[in-house]
Structure 1
Amino acid sequence: MSNTPKVPSLYEWIGGIEALEKLIGEFYGRVRLDEIIGPVFSKMGADHPQHVAAFIGEVLGGPPVYSSNLGGHSEMIRHHLNRHLTEQQRRRWLSLLLDTYTDLGLPSDPEFASALVGYLEWGSRLAVLNSQAGVSEPSASPMPKWGWGEVKGPYITGGD
């Protein structure tokens, strides 16, 4: 029997779907008011924040709600086709999301932050690439699965 504690998934560490829905709901409230990315989301449906929370939750190790109910990664790619997103919009999306995260007081663990920012950087860059002219409809694309990365779990003060 091992005394090594179970390392939680990123989904568990952030606080599950409740924390993600709070984060993404607050974030998109701010997006609507933003002059750089607000126009990109001006026609988003009321359920958009819940869909994004489900997607991110699944990527971070939560239940496959987005894949089961909303089409999986290929469908997320389709949502970005021909949107012509810019690097300025991507960076604003990212900084606004991270500011919202901090303002809500969600876990500030450095390893978690590293993993989350790593995924958000990767995913937002993928969104920009897939939003440009000439990108074809995606074929089956596996759902990304993000973990702790190079670290073995959350930072523990005083640990080695």
Structure 2
Amino acid sequence: MEEPVKRIPTLFEWAGGMPAFELLTEKFYQKVLQDPLLEPVFKHMSTEHQRHVAHFIAEVFGGPEMYSTEEGSHFRMIQKHLGKHLTEQHRQRWVALLLETADEISLPDDPEFRSAFVAYIEWGTRIAILNSNAETLEMNPEEPMPKWGWGVPGGPYLG
């Protein structure tokens, strides 16, 4: 008898679904607002900002299309970074605090998930720096949301 093929979960599912991403951004932005380097950049963010970021990352990782259908688009998200003049120091601190928060809330720490998670965070924050130092956006407004998968490992180790 043939063994059934195991369905590889999305990164969104493996992380714990929307509650995991909402908790991640809630705890993360608490740290951001107490950080001397990042607080000046984020102190005027709307009360909805952390939820939008949670929904954006969740959608990128294979979750429901809440961000792109209800809260914005990839184009609009990138527009929000224009003229913010983020530095490499801002980026590094943002990444460090996010990864610290991921550990604190027990986001999966298996190598396959963390490889994909960190790869997206590194890619996305580097794109944010480029866009934040631009004054105009040369991008198709219909540009689809990025979609991130497991990468080279191909999925979690399911034994």
Q: TM-score, normalised by structure 1?
A: 0.93
Give, in angstroms, the shift of residue 104 of structure 1: 1.2
**Alignment-derived partner of residue 99 in structure 2:** 98
For structure 1, the 5+ residue unaligned runs are none
Q: Distance in 2 between matches of 1:91 and 1:62?
A: 26
Q: Percent identity?
A: 51
> Where in structure 1 do 4 or more consecutive aligned residues deviate above 4 Å?
none
Give, in angstroms, the shift of residue 142 of structure 1: 1.4
Asked if 1:7 corresponds to 2:23, the answer is no
> Is the 8 Å Cα contact of residues 83 and 132 (structure 1) preserved in structure 2?
yes
**Alignment-derived partner of residue 89 in structure 1:** 90
**Alignment-derived partner of residue 153 in structure 2:** 151
Give, in angstroms, the shift of residue 133 of structure 1: 3.5
Equivalent AA in structure 2 for residue 47 of structure 1: E
SS of aligned partner of 1:151? coil
Q: TM-score, normalised by structure 2?
A: 0.94
Give, in angstroms, the shift of residue 137 of structure 1: 5.6
Give, in angstroms, the shift of residue 153 of structure 1: 1.0
Count matched residues.
157
SS of aligned partner of 2:92? helix
- What is the CA RMSD across the aligned residues, in angstroms? 1.3
Pairing of 1:58-69 with structure 2 (within 5 A)? 58-69=59-70
Pairing of 1:9-28 with structure 2 (within 5 A)? 9-28=10-29
Pairing of 1:3-152 with structure 2 (within 5 A)? 3-136=4-137, 138-140=139-141, 141-152=143-154
Return 19-28 or 130-139, whichever deviates more. Answer: 130-139
Q: Distance in 2 between matches of 1:72 and 1:137?
A: 15
